[in-house]
């Protein structure tokens, strides 16, 4: 009887040892395999609020099946109101990046030195993920709408041209499709295409609404000067000028020429020179400029130097902390992180203060 008990005990130990050995082998095997084979969602990490919103528009509501969680997770590193030119990465950013399947950046030095660091992390041996730079995508296709600054380097504020943003949207769609698991492609790609088509039409509608708005607004003169804290709105003026051509209902004699006169250069890191202030004063006087605009991500002190020199009819458009109705958004979206809503808001504010009352 005692021998029988010993045999049972020995067999139990053997079975338990075998089970533990198999279990540990499985754990080791799982660690060796790519982690994305077991993640419940594909993670997209975007730097700016504009790119975060675009990623969300293309991936929202996508599921493998009715009972599954969302197939994609979108994380935006910069919060509303943050200036990308001066952005400092946080430790939490690193955690998001090393767990990303796709890293989405603006590029063209908008994120300053962080761009290179993001790309290096995505291409490291320990963590390889897809990498998409909206700016580089446009320049690699030799897009003629890219604006270049005094040093011939591309202006990074590409989201202020809806036509360019539509191209970025298409490029990002292609990039997102690269991170779909092979076995899921047929179900997921069709949903991405559906989201893309819906959002692309919304962008077209935004463009049509702005064309109509130009037609309906009386600026009192053919040249409309937009004076802002820094050169983030060059693309917007270029866009407003170009959409008046090519099939629009705006007659040649009624067309407006929008001109930007920034206080700073392309980056908010550029210094404001006294010489630049002196250059702007005669422009304001000669063209009866009605308003000077502050921007959401640029400190008010960059335009204080103009307040003393401005004529009495010039309004400094600067909202209070509690009232964002007159806030002009530059390098960040609004509190809702909605690109179309923010773009339309900016147009409304600019036209409101520059139109003839």
| pLDDT tens, position by position, 38-53 | 456 899 999 999 999 9
Q: What is the pLDDT of residue 35?
A: 46
Q: Record the tokens describing residue 173, joined without a space.
A: 């769609």
Q: What is the pLDDT of residue 353?
A: 93
**12: phi then psi, degrees, rounded to nearest 5:** -65, -45
Q: Do residues 154 and 264 share a domain? A: no
Q: Record the tokens describing residue 237, joined without a space.
A: 């003026």
Residue 46 falls within a domain, yes or no? yes
Residue 22 falls within a domain, yes or no? yes
The SS3 of residue 143 is: coil
Summarize pLDDT for 180-223 with one digit per residue, the tens: 999 999 999 999 999 999 999 999 999 999 999 998 999 888 89
List the beta bridge partners of residue 260: 226
Q: Do residues 105 and 192 share a domain? A: yes
Q: How far apart are CA 149 and CA 236, in angstroms?
A: 15
Task: Tell me which residue range forms the domain holding 57.
Answer: 41-200
Q: What is the pLDDT of residue 33?
A: 40
Reply yes or no on whether the pLDDT at 31 is more than 80.
Answer: no
Count of domains observed in the chain: 3
What is the value of pTM for the model shown?
A: 0.84
Q: Do residues 195 and 65 share a domain? A: yes
Q: What is the pLDDT of residue 252?
A: 62
Average pLDDT across the chain, whole number: 82
């Amino acid at each position: 009887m005692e021998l029988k008990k010993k045999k049972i005990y020995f067999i139990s130990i053997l079975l338990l040892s075998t089970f533990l050995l198999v279990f540990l082998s499985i754990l080791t095997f799982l660690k060796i395999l790519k982690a994305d084979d077991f993640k419940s969602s594909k993670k997209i990490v975007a730097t700016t609020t504009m790119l975060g919103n675009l990623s969300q528009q293309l991936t929202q509501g996508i599921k493998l099946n009715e009972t599954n969680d969302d197939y994609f997770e979108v994380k935006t590193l910069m919060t509303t109101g943050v200036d990308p030119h001066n952005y400092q990465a946080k430790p939490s950013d690193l955690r998001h990046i090393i767990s990303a399947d796709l890293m989405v950046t603006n590029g063209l030095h908008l994120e300053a030195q962080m761009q290179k660091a993001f790309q290096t992390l995505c291409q490291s041996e320990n963590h390889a993920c897809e990498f998409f730079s909206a700016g580089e995508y446009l320049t690699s296709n030799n897009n003629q709408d890219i604006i270049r600054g005094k040093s011939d380097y591309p202006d990074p504020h590409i989201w202020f041209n809806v036509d360019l943003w539509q191209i970025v949207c298409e490029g990002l769609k292609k990039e997102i499709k690269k991170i779909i698991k092979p076995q899921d492609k047929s179900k997921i790609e069709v949903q991405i295409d559906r989201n893309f088509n819906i959002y692309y039409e919304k962008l077209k509608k935004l463009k049509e609404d702005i064309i109509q708005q130009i037609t309906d607004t009386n600026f009192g003169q053919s040249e409309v000067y937009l004076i802002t804290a820094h050169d983030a709105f060059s693309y917007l003026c270029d866009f407003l000028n170009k959409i008046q051509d090519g099939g629009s209902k705006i007659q040649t004699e009624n067309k407006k020429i929008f001109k930007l006169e920034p206080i700073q250069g392309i980056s908010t890191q550029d210094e404001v020179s006294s010489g630049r202030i002196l250059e702007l004063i005669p422009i304001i006087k000669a063209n009866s400029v009605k308003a000077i605009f502050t921007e959401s991500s640029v400190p008010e002190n960059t335009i204080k130097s103009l307040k003393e020199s401005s004529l009495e009819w010039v309004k400094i458009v600067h909202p209070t902390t509690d009232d964002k109705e007159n806030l002009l958004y530059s390098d960040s979206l609004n509190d809702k992180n909605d690109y179309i809503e923010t773009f339309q808001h900016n147009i409304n504010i600019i036209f409101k203060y520059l139109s003839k009352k």
